[in-house]
Structure 1
Amino acid sequence: MIDSMKTALFRTSGGALLLALGLALPGCSKEEGPVQPVADGATVREISQGELIGSTTPQGAHAWLGIPYAAAPIGDLRWRAPREPARWSDRYEALDGTRRCLQYASEIEPGFEGGELAGSEDCLFLNVWAPPGPVDDLPVMVWIHGGANVWGFGGQLDPSRLALSQNVIVVAPNYRLGPMGWFAHSALRESADKPEDGSANFGLLDLIATLRWTQDNIAAFGGDPDRVTIFGESAGAFNVGALLASPLSEDLFDGAIMQSGGFATHTMQEAEFGPDTEGARRGVASREALAELGISDAEQTPATMRAIPAKDLFQAYQDLRPDEGGLGDSIDPIDITADGIVLPEEGLPALLASKAGLHDVPVIFGTNRDETRAAGMFDDHFTRSIGGVAFFAKDTDAYLAQGEYPSATWFERAVAGPATLRAKAGSAPVFAYRFDWDEEGDAIVSDLATLIGASHAMEIGFVLGDFESPYTDPFGFFFTDKNEEQRLKLSERMMAYWGNFAHTGNPSKGPARTSLAWRPWTAEKRRTMVFDTDETSGTRMMRYTGSMEALVERFAADDRFRNDVDRCKSAELAADTAISTGVSPGPWRGLANRYCQKSQEPS
């Protein structure tokens, strides 16, 4: 069983680390909200739905925020594929990027109480950023936000710097989250008006609708519909992986970037009814939530289910969440499902190795060096704290070791394995990276470089060029004056590679100058770009020589672990990491069982 603490830190949460720190450091978040956009006549555009006007961002990009790309999925459209949006007769003011799909708000968000049910079912809006005109035929980058597929929205971050520096159009959609985005039930399939209505993946269908809207409308903003790259982090990257395999997204994009993702899928049986055994549980199934609401099988008709108040449905999922000391008022529904409609029934891990299993487009796979290290921060076996605010590692070596092996497993399972399979199966190039930046400041008197390191989600600000958002650094501890110069240089370098990839399908070729060639991954050479500042280890190419066997051998011989409890906790997290990325736990479950059992034996 993956507990909710681990789920929050690595399962697919682009903002989980910030949520964790928000709980640990109450009252430290930035209180000011975003600057309210002002309509700018230079941004008037005509799209298929009518005329609209946007604004100019503080950085100088043009932005259109909150454009409806599909009809509101409410009433009879709940748990159906998205429908075409309505036209408007008056000029539409695209000035509000704050609307979101239903979710429990986190502690870090200005204007919300932690655990408040925020957003609306009427949420299918997207945002567009572009260099100021006139521009034409620019590549398009569609950003898919993270947040465990239960949290986040397309307007959380401002990619103006990415759009301006790389001469690209950036599109960032909302998509249905939690049980509104992923819900499987035979009654819905039997009453479907069209095949897509029988899916279990309504959030993915929203993303496909975004890509279709982009094909039809992006030229009005200066974009080229024939050059579309999808990219996302954490849950967003898992969704990118699903889109790579979906027959419904074929020819809608020509490049993909997966930042800290994987290829996990669930079966329809699991999504609708639950796992065969509790030991195999990976989330809450649809019928389990309905039973929690007291709705009998006979009463589970489409009309009855669509009439359930959203608040009650979310509460049912929350009540079914295992109480294991998790962070915040979250939920854990089954999400990406091999439903035979959006995703083939064999599931993503099998499709990954098949020559025709994924769309044959250039792909970048990457993770952060210390993805899971911060899981140890809130474990009093590894740390002590003063008032639950200032954290210290009890033993620095043991603390670093506990996070190293799960993080390395994530790279092995979400980068090395998939990159090798795709390099063998496809003809398009595959690229790999690891993000190593770990120069955070101190929180109170806590050493964040040690406690967090190059953690999950830390690279997002570097890629999008947004270090000011409350969603990238709500407390001002990560991105400081001291690390600004080198940090901005690294961000410029990463944006250049991402931008070149959008322009040409090759991160080293394009309008942006890059001093170091990012060479593709092959099964033989396994070349990987490592991103770090020049004053530390520097950005460099390395040849990845690791393997799961070598990792396990190193784990067994690592004398930084103080005892069997250290090894038990690290191996458990490594096993859960492997499962979360879509593969078996490999040797880690056996190692966890061995060391956890030994740790309980009398000395």
Structure 2
Amino acid sequence: MTRSFKTALSRKCRGTLLLAFGLTLAACSAEAEPALPVADAATVTRISQGELIGSTTPQGAQAWLGIPYAAPPTGDLRWRAPREPAAWEGRYEALDGTRRCLQYASEIEPGFEGGELAGSEDCLFLNVWAPPGPVDDLPVMVWIHGGANVWGFGGQLDPSRLALSQNVVVVAPNYRLGPMGWFAHSALRDSADEPEDGSANFGLLDLIAALRWTQGNIAAFGGDPERVTIFGESAGAFNVGALLASPQSEGLFTGAIMQSGGFASHTMREAEFGPDNEADRRGVASREVLAQLAIPEARQTAATLRTIAAADLFQAYQDLRPDEGGLGDSIDPIDIAADGIVVPSEGLPALLARQDGLHDVPVIFGTNRDEVRAAGMFDDHFTRSIGGVAFFAKDTDAYLAHGAYPSATWFDRAVAGPADLRTKAGAAPVFAYRFDWDEEGNAFVSDLATLVGASHAMEIGFVFGDFESPYTDPFDFFFTDGNEDDRLSLSERMMAYWGNFAHTGDPSKGPNEASSRWHAWTANAPGTMVFDTEATNGTRMMRYTSSLETLVEQFVSDERFRNDTDRCKSAKLAVDTAISTSASPGPWRALATRYCQTSQESD
């Protein structure tokens, strides 16, 4: 992801969008961490490592939280492929799903101050939820959390309703984040004990290890290792895209869902040394951080790198963060790299276009209609505020136009383009969706439906049936009593489609009756399922007839823009979106240059 795009996206993912309404951080950080659940004897089971006991959730699902699926990646195992987990004696209490990999905590998290370095290098745990037993041979859904690959953990959400309503087993692993999960250096490659140690994608290797653990152990929880669907949102969806291309993950899953993702990767040179041209920068490279730490090249041995204090490493990334009004705790490491081990050296965009570039399994690609609209709320060119509490669009039409083209570009690059290519290349079906729900209402007299709309990450609560988590709606602004009935009805429909896909590889076929037939994408019928409440336009199939070329034509002639400065800002956001979701800005960079230049000349 590019710097400015990741900054804007991190704001939404970390909840600072809500904090912009002027709520005090103290009210959030003062909340106590939730108490651990109580062990339930009905959940006792045995896996390869030994016997364990879990708990029963308030909704009635059984849960096993914090199961180690690999050895701690600490000491000499830092920046190596994950190793097999140790067995234990006695009964392991799998009751704590709050452990996480090293990251800067966000302001919305109970028990943490915003910007606090939270978590541990010893973090390779996963969580399992299942319907109450005895159950057998249920489809498995492996959730890969989002958070720009620098934040989040597998226990953020409660998929109990998804597991119970769809009769599936849900697995949610942690994986190494930030510089612990993605770090490229020749010294690490030269010291590899196993071929995978030479990778730069340690977070992806963790996910592959979690999938292998699932293959070997999920039957103990009632799951079928022959029916595993991986699904993720944002960075989690980008990681799903990488797993679709990785030779290391061959045979580990039978279907994939990418929610607001894309197929983007970096070269190994870029990951290690940075871009050749500063205009092409998409994050901070490993050797740039070592220079920030004043470690001379002669001392950059594997042993030295593995003894760098984690806090110092994260601080160096923070010191190099983009100065673009972003979060004080943001870091911007380069993540998915075409290392030739986990990700083939051609890179993800090229693999997407190749007939044998991805595993030929059924896939769902989707985005939200207004992915990046909320980025305009932080720009006083488009909005004004009263005391930093109430936000208003200065010109509603211009505000909506600013976010519309970058969001539509995301759909074109992450849904329509990949759907076309995969339909031509593979035998497995491809399904596409767009999420349109925008019934948030008002907060402090701010019109959230206008300011936020169907924004990034908004669909997660609907897919999980979890609207209570502090990670989906920390301050109860979005999900209200007024929109509850229609919201829950839409959530039930979405869970049914996701559940059917896990059961059969087709969202319209399975144990759940589909409210509308979700047709696969074809060259002659590029159909997209639109998710919305019946009170508005309803859940329906839509034929996709647009293209990047038509978007550009509409952009140039769109009279909602007030001036060239409006167009400059929208085109720049579209550049970041395009690069982040694939590899090339397409025509947007030329348009940004054109309108930004004319806007400066008119100032």
Normalised-by-shorter TM-score class: over 0.9
Q: Does 1:213 align with 2:216?
A: no
> 1:319 is matched with which residue?
319
Give the aligned residue type for 1:339.
D
Deviation of 1:127 (Å):
0.2
Query: 2:577 aligns to what SS in structure 1?
Result: helix
Deviation of 1:18 (Å):
1.9
Contact 2:289–2:317 (Cα < 8 Å) also in 1? yes
Q: Does 1:16 align with 2:7?
A: no
Find the aligned partners of 1:123 and 1:293 in 2 and give their Cα distance. 25
Query: 1:481 aligns to what SS in structure 2?
Result: coil
Contact 2:237–2:261 (Cα < 8 Å) also in 1? yes
Find the aligned partners of 1:17 and 1:183 in 2 and give their Cα distance. 23
Deviation of 1:33 (Å):
4.0
Find the aligned partners of 2:213 and 2:21 in 1 and give their Cα distance. 41
Deviation of 1:110 (Å):
1.3
> 2:517 is matched with which residue?
517
Contact 1:9–1:16 (Cα < 8 Å) also in 2? no
Q: Does 1:7 align with 2:2?
A: no
Q: Does 1:26 align with 2:23?
A: yes
User: Cα deviations across residues 25-57 of structure 1 (Å, max 9, x unaligned)?
Assistant: 323649364352100000001000000000000
> 1:481 is matched with which residue?
481
Deviation of 1:583 (Å):
2.7
Correspondences of 1:134-213 after superposition (within 5 Å)? 134-213=134-213
Q: Does 1:223 align with 2:201?
A: no
> 2:367 is matched with which residue?
367
Find the aligned partners of 2:171 and 2:139 in 1 and give their Cα distance. 11
Give the aligned residue type for 1:344.
P
Contact 2:14–2:107 (Cα < 8 Å) also in 1? no
User: Larger deviation: 198-207 or 109-118?
Assistant: 109-118
Query: 1:129 aligns to what SS in structure 2?
Result: strand
Contact 1:48–1:87 (Cα < 8 Å) also in 2? yes
Contact 2:283–2:333 (Cα < 8 Å) also in 1? yes
Give the aligned residue type for 2:22.
L
Contact 2:115–2:328 (Cα < 8 Å) also in 1? yes
Find the aligned partners of 1:140 and 1:199 in 2 and give their Cα distance. 28
User: Cα deviations across residues 382-434 of structure 1 (Å, max 9, x unaligned)?
Assistant: 00011222110001111001000000000000000000000000000000000
Correspondences of 1:219-258 after superposition (within 5 Å)? 219-258=219-258
User: Larger deviation: 167-176 or 580-589?
Assistant: 580-589
> 2:456 is matched with which residue?
456
Query: 2:15 aligns to what SS in structure 1?
Result: helix
Correspondences of 1:501-540 after superposition (within 5 Å)? 501-540=501-540
> 1:99 is matched with which residue?
99
User: Larger deviation: 21-30 or 305-314?
Assistant: 21-30
Find the aligned partners of 2:319 and 2:7 in 1 and give their Cα distance. 17
Change in 2 beyond 3 A, CA 1:359/1:2: closer
Contact 2:11–2:327 (Cα < 8 Å) also in 1? no
Find the aligned partners of 1:494 and 1:602 in 2 and give their Cα distance. 48
Contact 1:14–1:235 (Cα < 8 Å) also in 2? no
Query: 1:63 aligns to what SS in structure 2?
Result: strand
Give the aligned residue type for 1:79.
W
Deviation of 1:445 (Å):
1.3
Q: Which runs of 5+ in 2 are unaligned?
A: none
Find the aligned partners of 2:187 and 2:108 in 1 and give their Cα distance. 39
Find the aligned partners of 2:253 and 2:87 in 1 and give their Cα distance. 25
Query: 2:67 aligns to what SS in structure 1?
Result: strand
TM-score of the aligned structures, taking structure 1 as reference length: 0.98
Contact 1:349–1:583 (Cα < 8 Å) also in 2? yes
Deviation of 1:324 (Å):
1.1
> 1:47 is matched with which residue?
47
Find the aligned partners of 2:84 and 2:251 in 1 and give their Cα distance. 20
Give the aligned residue type for 2:78.
R
User: Larger deviation: 101-110 or 223-232?
Assistant: 101-110
> 2:299 is matched with which residue?
299
Find the aligned partners of 1:342 and 1:14 in 2 and give their Cα distance. 29
Correspondences of 1:392-541 after superposition (within 5 Å)? 392-541=392-541
Find the aligned partners of 2:200 and 2:531 in 1 and give their Cα distance. 37
Q: Does 1:377 align with 2:377?
A: yes
Find the aligned partners of 2:391 and 2:11 in 1 and give their Cα distance. 22
> 2:357 is matched with which residue?
357
Give the aligned residue type for 1:327.
L
Contact 2:370–2:403 (Cα < 8 Å) also in 1? yes
Find the aligned partners of 1:109 and 1:445 in 2 and give their Cα distance. 25
Find the aligned partners of 2:89 and 2:74 in 1 and give their Cα distance. 22
Contact 2:3–2:283 (Cα < 8 Å) also in 1? no
Q: Does 1:550 align with 2:547?
A: no
> Which consecutive aligned stretches of 4+ in structure 1 deviate over 6 angstroms post-superposition?
none
Contact 2:69–2:125 (Cα < 8 Å) also in 1? yes
User: Cα deviations across residues 246-273 of structure 1 (Å, max 9, x unaligned)?
Assistant: 0000000000000000000000000111
User: Cα deviations across residues 335-384 of structure 1 (Å, max 9, x unaligned)?
Assistant: 00000000100000000011110000000000000000000001000000
Query: 1:462 aligns to what SS in structure 2?
Result: helix
Percent of aligned pairs with the same amino acid = 81
TM-score of the aligned structures, taking structure 2 as reference length: 0.98
Contact 1:267–1:337 (Cα < 8 Å) also in 2? yes
Deviation of 1:582 (Å):
1.5
Deviation of 1:602 (Å):
3.7
Q: Does 1:574 align with 2:566?
A: no
Give the aligned residue type for 1:16.
C
Contact 2:103–2:117 (Cα < 8 Å) also in 1? yes
Correspondences of 1:259-338 after superposition (within 5 Å)? 259-338=259-338
Give the aligned residue type for 1:184.
A
> 2:342 is matched with which residue?
342
Contact 1:14–1:145 (Cα < 8 Å) also in 2? no
Deviation of 1:442 (Å):
1.4
Give the aligned residue type for 1:337.
A
Find the aligned partners of 1:87 and 1:58 in 2 and give their Cα distance. 30
Query: 2:483 aligns to what SS in structure 1?
Result: helix
Deviation of 1:327 (Å):
2.3
Find the aligned partners of 2:505 and 2:34 in 1 and give their Cα distance. 34
Contact 1:9–1:17 (Cα < 8 Å) also in 2? no
Give the superposed CA RMSD. 1.2
Q: Which runs of 5+ in 1 are unaligned?
A: none
User: Cα deviations across residues 226-284 of structure 1 (Å, max 9, x unaligned)?
Assistant: 00000000000000000000000000000000000000000000011111011111001
Query: 1:385 aligns to what SS in structure 2?
Result: strand
Find the aligned partners of 1:547 and 1:208 in 2 and give their Cα distance. 35
User: Cα deviations across residues 513-569 of structure 1 (Å, max 9, x unaligned)?
Assistant: 112110000122100000000000100001000011111111111111111110000
Deviation of 1:23 (Å):
4.6
Give the aligned residue type for 2:140.
V
Contact 1:14–1:146 (Cα < 8 Å) also in 2? no
Find the aligned partners of 2:255 and 2:343 in 1 and give their Cα distance. 19
Contact 1:265–1:347 (Cα < 8 Å) also in 2? yes
Give the aligned residue type for 1:391.
F
Contact 1:17–1:456 (Cα < 8 Å) also in 2? no
Contact 1:161–1:465 (Cα < 8 Å) also in 2? yes
